[in-house]
């Protein structure tokens, strides 16, 4: 097998830094950039973001919903976005938050992680809240194809704790998810390919996040998370943190140079 996602991510962070920028073409952002809220506007937005950022940042994270809302033409733009961002050297993490029963999960895994798929990504986000075992088809596909999976653990939204802080034997639901990720990453060197999503906005961190895998940390900027929150929450495991932000960088557009500058500034602020 070729290199694992964990190894490719570690190399990308060393070369480009740790920032992950979301490509989230909200209707309001399309309007701010002077673009129409249709597939043409979407394509200009996404290609501008790729042009500005895919040669710079380690990870680009398109949010599938903002493409899906434009129908088949939007999906075609997503395919192009993923392909061109990867061609320019960025790792592409598609934020699509999948999760389903085993046989259907296998089809979703094929759709996004199979090397021959039209939307073949380096990694995707998945939800473990149908039971961690339901993720096996995703985790197996990631192993087989050298791809990554980021599992929602402690999400940035205020409703998350209702499920994620619920008590189960041995701790919380989120703690159990994190422990199972750590188990799956055991022995991987330099870094496991199964990541966890932990929001910058969660307040206090009472769970063990040393999972020998990447920690995707959204919630910076528009949702109120700050670089100081990152340092406070992740001191010991900062080497594995991918700070993620979308609107705070995208709002600097549509000028390519302004977008790039915004990403560079955020990268510096979150570098440690």
Indicate which residues carry an active-site annotation. Answer: 97
CB 200 within 8 A of CB 217: yes
Shortest separation between residue 169's beta carbon and ligand OMP, angstroms: 25
Are 213 and 237 spatial neighbours (Cβ–Cβ below 8 Å)? no
The pair of three-digit structure tokens given for residue 231, joined into one six-digit string? 């340092």
Whole-number minimum distance, CB 152 to ligand OMP, in Å?
Answer: 6
Contact 76, 53 (CB under 8 A): no
CB of 77 to ligand OMP, least distance (A): 16
Under the criterion CB under 6 A, does residue 114 sit at the interface with ligand OMP? no
> Under the criterion CB under 6 A, does residue 128 sit at the interface with ligand OMP?
no
Judged by CB, which is closer to ligand OMP: 105, or 151? Answer: 151
Site map (CB under 6 A) of ligand OMP, residues 52-91, x = contact: -----------x----------------------------
Q: Which stretch binds ligand OMP (CB under 6 A): 79-87, 115-123, 140-148, 213-221?
A: 213-221
Query: Of residues 7, 205, 222, 258, which one binds ligand OMP by CB under 6 A?
Result: 222
Give the dihedral sign, CA 19/23/29/30: positive
- Of the CA atoms within 13 Å of residue 63, those in its CB half-sphere come to 16
Of the pair 190, 232, the CB lying nearest ligand OMP is at: 232
Interacting stretch for ligand OMP, rule CB under 6 A, among 45-53, 68-76, 115-123, 245-253?
A: 245-253
Exposed (0-12), middle (13-18) or buried (19+): which is 59, by Cβ within 10 Å? Answer: buried
Is-cis flag, bond preceding 231, omega within 30?
Answer: no
For the beta carbon of residue 86, count every other beta carbon within 10 angstroms: 17
Q: Under the criterion CB under 6 A, does residue 22 sit at the interface with ligand OMP?
A: yes
**Which residues between 168 and 207 bind ligand OMP (CB under 6 A)?**
197, 199
For strand 167-168 and strand 171-172, is the pairing parallel, antiparallel, or unpaired? antiparallel
CB of 189 to ligand OMP, least distance (A): 26
């Amino acid at each position: 097998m070729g290199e694992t996602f964990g190894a490719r991510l570690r190399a990308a962070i060393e070369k480009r830094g740790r920032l992950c920028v979301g490509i989230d073409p909200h209707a309001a952002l399309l309007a701010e950039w002077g673009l129409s809220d249709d597939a043409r506007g979407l394509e200009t937005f996404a290609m501008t973001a790729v042009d500005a950022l895919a040669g710079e940042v380690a990870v680009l994270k398109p949010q599938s919903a903002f493409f899906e809302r434009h129908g088949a033409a939007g999906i075609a733009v997503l395919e192009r976005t993923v392909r061109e961002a990867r061609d320019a050297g960025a790792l592409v993490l598609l934020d699509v938050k999948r999760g389903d029963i085993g046989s259907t999960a296998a089809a979703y895994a094929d759709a996004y992680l199979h090397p021959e798929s039209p939307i073949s990504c380096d990694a995707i986000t998945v939800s473990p809240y149908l039971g961690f075992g339901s993720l096996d088809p995703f985790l197996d596909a990631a192993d087989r194809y050298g791809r990554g999976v980021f599992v929602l653990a402690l999400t940035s939204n205020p409703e998350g704790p209702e499920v994620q802080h619920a008590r189960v034997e041995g701790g919380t639901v989120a703690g159990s998810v994190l422990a199972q990720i750590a188990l799956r990453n055991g022995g991987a060197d330099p870094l496991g390919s199964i990541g966890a999503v932990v929001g910058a906005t969660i307040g206090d961190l009472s769970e063990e996040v040393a999972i020998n895998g990447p920690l995707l940390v959204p919630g910076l900027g528009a949702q109120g998370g700050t670089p100081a929150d990152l340092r406070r929450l992740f001191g010991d495991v900062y080497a594995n943190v991918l700070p993620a932000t979308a609107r705070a960088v995208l709002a600097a557009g549509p000028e390519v140079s302004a977008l790039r500058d915004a990403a560079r500034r955020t990268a510096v602020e979150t570098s440690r």
